[in-house]
Amino acid sequence: MELDRIDRKILSILQEDGRIANVELAERIGLSPTSIGERLKRLQREGFVEGYGARLNPHRLGLGLLVFVEVLLDKTTPDNFDRFARAVKLAPEVLECHMVAGGFDYLVKARLADMTAYRRFLGETLLSMPGVRETRTYAVMEEIKRDAPLPVG
């Protein structure tokens, strides 16, 4: 499906405010609420809009430590990749996990209360996952930009 200028504007506004009313969205775009509703349903049906949610303040929730962890597996086999992927999906501390090309296999982004909680997570969860041979951790000292919207134009 090809996105036109109006579709891109709708997506851009939704990234700013996913709770915007159709009437207000229609006013900002310059179309009728019915037309906006149809476009929005199509964008959802075609998979451009995956869902809606609230952005929570991790510090208010006691999750002040953000870490990135490079994970190197002992063997790079499809079975090892699958077993690690299944295990990492079960860890609630893990916000994101990406298989990457380069000197390690996965980059894990995790949120925890503090360094003590991270040490426990590392020892009890991450290092016990199937195939993990080595990790390198980078603790975030300051978040410069997070939860940025996608550049839909």
CATH number at residue 80: 3.30.70.920
In a domain, 54, yes or no: no
Q: Supply the DSSP string of 26-94, one letter for each residue.
A: HHHHTS-HHHHHHHHHHHHHTTS-----PPP-TTTTT--EEEEEEEEES---HHHHHHHHHHHHT-TTE
Tokens 């002040």 belong to 64
pTM, full prediction:
0.90
Note down the domain range covering 101.
65-139
Mean pLDDT in order along the chain per 10 residues (153 residues): 94 96 97 97 97 94 98 96 98 98 97 98 98 98 93 89
Same domain, 19 and 74: no
In a domain, 147, yes or no: no
